[in-house]
Structure 1
Amino acid sequence: MTQTATMRARELPQTDPATARANLTAEFVALIDLVDGLAPDDWTRPTECTGWTVRHMVAHIAGSAECAVRKSTLLRVYASAGWNSRKAPDTFIDHMCAAQIAARADMTDREVAADLKRWARDAPARLAAAPGFIRRLRVPAASGAPKGATLSWFLDVINTRDVWMHRVDLARALGVARETTVAEPEAVRQVIRDLDTDWSGPPLALTLTGVGGGTWRIGAGDPVAHVTEDAVAFLRLLSGRSDECPLATDGDPSAADSLRAARVLF
């Protein structure tokens, strides 16, 4: 097995508010450019998120941006999702997304596009401006967040990650090339950081190729394998969307098996 000197992924710093604001702004600009180019028939195209069309996905992102700007909307969506600290994270998130989509059910497609622009304009700045005492609050374990995560993780990491991954979804649904932004390398790093934070599999070296790629150590101890994969394909695997990854492995094959079974919250 080829040995590669790397840093532990969990040692990467969490995205800071200023970087998060710039990255989310860039992601929204790219998303809006894509949405502005949608033809009428494009809105009903199915995506790889079960049961969601392109319209559902855009409506969800618009709703998420509104939640970032309007606290009253955030509280209403939380209430409609039936939040409690014991509810499974996927169930809660599904209910939140459903509420965001339902709130736009009576809008035309172009009104949904305009709604996205309305909230995306201010969302990055509002999230970055969240006060320190809010940022330091611990996230409930039932949320699916990595160990030790605070609300700063939701504010500075998850929001950009969500828009970025949904742009991947939309590009695949539409059969178009995806625009890359300055946010992509940081989005990749933060996913790998979260993976290593909760990792319980064998230690390994992970090399991701493409935009945002790099090499990191996952797990404590000397790597038993070196696994190589395309960055976007690997993040789609971790999100549970698809398993299209060969996970080329030099060394113990159990390392690839553990990666294939791993999940990170998106």
Structure 2
Amino acid sequence: MADPGAVVDDLHAEGEDLDRLVAGLGPEQWATPTPAPGWTVAHQIAHLAWTDEQAVKSATEPEAFAREAEKAMAAPDTFVDEAAARGAQDPPAELLKRWRAGRAAVRAALSAHPTDVRMPWFLTRMSVASMATGRLMETWAHGQDIADALGVRRTPTDRLRHVARIGVRARDYGYFMRGETPPAEEFRVELTAPDGTLWTYGPEDAAQRVTGTALDFCLLATQRAHRADLALRAEGADADHWLDIAQAFAGPPGQGREPGRSGPGGQGGGAA
């Protein structure tokens, strides 16, 4: 299990990186469409702000969060979009202020929360480390949408290890969400980190293997790039199929990106 304090610190750093990307944008740039249909840069930040607020409520007011989650689950196909749309109507300066306040509140709430007490979340319960990791994954993934919309190529960091870890651990989830039975055997995953070191998961002698860069794997698992635009390699039919259905996020399978439309960040592995 990841050290909760280290993950919370990395979550803070990920938010600061994205803050630097959007802080100087003019009003017209906040209205720039992103690869998520119907979502502008403002929608992306509004979604992060709303989800951070829910994380704080989960950590500090679990009963109030449970009521909020119940309402959200009553409209599972619309509540995320509706929350983003409401927030996107705020002036950019107010939205940015709200998001910054939420990030600070998440950091404080998770730092103070007992590490052995799980928090309620949508259809599950989360430890401090898993909540911080989930928030970091979302911040990175939605930040990628914003970077792609603005034509910015971000420099990958070793914080991707958190996103990669979720992607590997969530292997079976992609099968379940499609009504498929996941393979019984573990896969071997070998990813080249931004600093050139190797991150490895699963048995070294596994027959089913996935190799490539950590950036490409994270882009795939968060559906921020199409597999055809990435340089991930699979050995074995099961591993090959997994790369078609992998998802590190909760909820139904998304539509993902069309080939050739992955944006500047979707070419991390130098795919052919």
Mapped contact 1:247–1:256 kept (Cα < 8 A): no
Structure 2 vs 1, CA of residues 215 and 27 (structure 1 numbering), >3 Å: closer, same or farther? Answer: closer
Is residue 2:191 matched to residue 1:245?
no
User: What letter corresponds to residue 30 of structure 1 in structure 2?
Assistant: D
Q: Where do residues 187-266 of structure 1 align in structure 2 (5 Å cutoff)?
A: 187-195=163-171, 200-201=182-183, 203-211=186-194, 214-218=198-202, 222-243=205-226, 244-249=229-234, 251-265=235-249
User: What letter corresponds to residue 42 of structure 1 in structure 2?
Assistant: Q
Is residue 2:54 matched to residue 1:78?
no
Counterpart of 2:101?
Answer: 118
1:207 CA drift (Å): 2.1
1:209 CA drift (Å): 2.7
Tell me the secondary structure at the aligned position of residue 170 of structure 2.
helix
Mapped contact 2:7–2:133 kept (Cα < 8 A): yes
User: What letter corresponds to residue 28 of structure 1 in structure 2?
Assistant: G
User: What letter corresponds to residue 188 of structure 1 in structure 2?
Assistant: A
Tell me the secondary structure at the aligned position of residue 208 of structure 1.
strand
Structure 2 vs 1, CA of residues 33 and 217 (structure 1 numbering), >3 Å: closer, same or farther? Answer: closer
**Unpaired stretches in structure 2, ≥5 consecutive residues:** 176-181, 251-272
User: What letter corresponds to residue 147 of structure 2 in structure 1?
Assistant: A
Question: How many residues are matched?
Answer: 236
Is residue 2:9 matched to residue 1:22?
yes
- 1:178-222 C-alpha deviation (Å, 9 max, x unpaired): 25455333332343233379883364432223427634344x794
* Larger RCO (CA within 8 A; separation ≥ 6): 1
User: What letter corresponds to residue 220 of structure 2 in structure 1?
Assistant: L
Tell me the secondary structure at the aligned position of residue 87 of structure 2.
coil
Mapped contact 1:30–1:179 kept (Cα < 8 A): no
In structure 1, what is the Cα distance between the partners aligned to 2:173 and 2:87? Answer: 37
Tell me the secondary structure at the aligned position of residue 52 of structure 1.
coil
Mapped contact 1:66–1:123 kept (Cα < 8 A): yes
**Unpaired stretches in structure 1, ≥5 consecutive residues:** 1-12, 84-90
Counterpart of 2:258?
Answer: none
Tell me the secondary structure at the aligned position of residue 122 of structure 1.
helix
Deviates more, 1:121-130 or 1:168-177: 121-130
Tell me the secondary structure at the aligned position of residue 90 of structure 2.
coil
TM (norm. structure 2) is 0.71
Tell me the secondary structure at the aligned position of residue 38 of structure 2.
coil
In structure 2, what is the Cα distance between the partners aligned to 1:259 and 1:69? Answer: 33
TM (norm. structure 1) is 0.72
